Amino acid sequence: MDFSQLEDADPSCADGSRVFYEREVPFELRSVDGLETPEEVGTLEAVRVKICVQGPDGAYTNVKIELCSESNLFFHYTHDLDTAAYAALQEGQRLMVDFKDYPAVIQRNLNNCIKQPHAFLAVLVMQKTGGARLDFIQNMEYKFVELLSIDLDSTPEEATRAHVTYRYNAMKGRLALCQARLADVNALVKIKNPSLLLQLKNEERSRKGVRSP
């Protein structure tokens, strides 16, 4: 099944970017109002993280990180930086990697949060004014160590709507493709082995609690 046409419509790639990484990652969500201290304990939620890059492999010119959630369609944050902006981040965070390795560093931290959720944490602190900060933290048993912290901006409403529309259409398109594929399989089984098709339909009726005619 070819999903390339759906992927071509992705607004994340409208600026010439391509998807480097995309997965759901367990995040702890905390909120803060102004200069107040963030909540000590947040809510755990699966957040879909997408890393997009521009430029050839090994010589990226731009890296963009997007956060969205299936539980809240209008939850959308963006971290977007080029080589110049990365230089400031590198100095502030004392990072030892070049810009070309930055996407892989973020990917590794995200995967650690998936594979070892008790040892590695992704904490998103959301400002009610719109911005957010993503902290990658390692639990060292006797203390918590902050590995990396990046700032994100709340995605503008118009762009967020474009992402919501894309996700809805992509899901609708995938469903249509799956239904078409299922119809093809049913037609093939009906020709090759009609009794098997009847058996499958009876089993499906049994699961749904419907008696066979």
82: pLDDT strictly greater than 70: yes
Cα 77 to chain center, whole Å? Answer: 11
Calculate what percentage of the chain has a pLDDT beyond 90.
50
Tell me yes or no: is domain 4-155 CATH 1.20.1600.10. Answer: no
CA angle 112, 118, 123 (to 5 degrees): 70
Write out the two tokens for 122: 């992704």
pLDDT at 183: 79
Q: Does 81 or 33 have the greater pLDDT score?
A: 81
Q: Is the pLDDT of residue 140 over 50?
A: yes
The SS3 call for residue 144 is: strand
Of these ranges, 10-19, 47-56, 152-161, the one predicted with the greatest mean pLDDT is 47-56
Ramachandran region, residue 180 (left: φ > 0; alpha: ψ -120 to 50; beta: rest):
alpha
Distance (Å, whole) CA 171 – CA 18: 20
Could you give the percent of the chain with pLDDT greater than 70? 84
Q: Give the pLDDT of residue 35.
A: 55
SS3 24: strand
pLDDT at 212: 47
Sign of the torsion angle spanned by Cα atoms 45, 20, 79, 98: positive
8 pLDDT band, cuts 50/70/90, is: low
Q: How far apart are CA 155 and CA 184, in angstroms?
A: 41
Whole-angstrom CA distances from 24 to 21, 66, 70, 111, 152 are 10, 12, 10, 10, 18
Spatial separation of the C-alpha atoms in residues 106 and 71, rounded to whole Å: 23
Q: What sign for the dihedral angle of Cα 164, 168, 173, 175? A: positive
In this prediction, residue 13 has a pLDDT band, given cuts at 50, 70 and 90, of confident
Residue spans of the domains in the chain: they are 4-155, 162-208
Q: Looking at residue 182, what is its pLDDT?
A: 77
For the segment 104-135, what is each residue's pLDDT rounded down to a tens digit? 999 999 999 999 999 999 999 998 888 999 99
